[in-house]
């Protein structure tokens, strides 16, 4: 794995969450927030970005009525456009990613106080190179059957839509191979919490050792 860059925050470790869609990364992030970590939900920031007037205007200029409805971004229609064409997806990412990165950096630049770690939950963490800002990568693992059921229940996505969106990301084996910790999310919340607590404790020990403290 690429080593963290000089831009990485080293006062406390930065944890990057990766895994398949609907594997449970948000559940892990929620547990880490309960444990006092500063967490960044890139999906939420992306939704905020699509409400920013400047970005709405740029989307309207490029995709027009295909992606805009009643003056707002139609996220479903926009997704259909960009996931069908890598070039169109790259154009959208060029609009949204800088907006997200700026707000993440602002969030992480504040005094962490007693927070044990910072956490980045971003669907394309590895693909866009955010792992270079992380001290530890955690892979959240769940069976494809479990992920399909969760995606259908929470997002209304059939298996084909899950596969289509996941095809825009790195293969899961490649993500898993880069992880410092693999957390099985088998649907038992208490077991997942215990695994998160153990991984966090190990991450903090490793970080303290690297700092020589």
> Mean pLDDT throughout 4-32?
83
Q: What are the tens digits of pLDDT across the range 44-101?
A: 999 999 999 999 999 999 999 999 999 999 999 999 999 999 999 999 999 999 999 9
Query: Beta strand pairing status for 14-19 and 136-141?
Result: parallel
DSSP 130: G
Instruction: Report how far residue 96's alpha carbon sits from residue 103's, in angstroms, rounded to the nearest whole number.
Output: 11
Assign 10 a pLDDT band (cuts: 50, 70, 90): low
Q: Which residues contact 213 (CB under 8 A, 6 or more apart)?
A: none
Q: Which 8-state DSSP code applies to residue 213?
A: -
Query: Which tens digit of pLDDT belongs to each residue from 152-210?
Result: 999 999 999 999 899 989 999 999 999 999 999 988 999 999 999 999 999 999 999 88
Q: Which domains does the chain have, with CATH numbers?
A: 1-37+117-208 (3.40.50.300), 43-114 (3.40.50.300)
- Tokens 């479990």 found at: 146
Is pLDDT above 80 for 107? yes
pTM exceeds 0.85, yes or no: yes
pLDDT surpasses 60 at 9: no
Listed residue (110, 131, 111) closest to 120, CA to CA: 131
Q: What are phi and psi of 67, to 5 degrees?
A: -120, -5
């Amino acid at each position: 794995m690429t080593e963290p860059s000089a831009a990485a925050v080293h006062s406390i470790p930065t944890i990057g969450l990766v895994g398949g869609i609907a594997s449970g990364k948000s559940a892990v992030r929620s547990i880490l927030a309960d444990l006092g970590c500063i967490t960044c939900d890139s999906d939420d920031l992306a939704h905020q970005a699509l409400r920013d007037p400047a970005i709405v205007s740029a989307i309207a200029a490029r995709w027009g009525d295909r992606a805009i409805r009643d003056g707002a971004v139609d996220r479903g229609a926009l997704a259909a456009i960009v996931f069908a064409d890598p070039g169109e997806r790259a154009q959208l990412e060029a609009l949204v990613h800088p907006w997200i990165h700026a707000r993440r950096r602002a969030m992480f630049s504040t005094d962490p106080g007693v927070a044990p770690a910072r956490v980045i939950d971003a669907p394309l963490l590895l693909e866009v190179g955010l792992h270079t800002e992380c001290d530890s990568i955690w892979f959240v693992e769940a069976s494809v059957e479990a992920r399909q059921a969760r995606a259908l229940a929470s997002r209304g996505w059939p298996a084909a839509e899950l596969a289509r969106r996941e095809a825009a990301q790195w293969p899961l084996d490649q993500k898993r191979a880069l992880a410092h910790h693999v957390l099985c999310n088998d649907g038992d919340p208490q077991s997942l919490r215990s695994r998160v607590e153990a991984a966090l404790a190990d991450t903090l020990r490793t970080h303290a050792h690297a700092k020589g403290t």
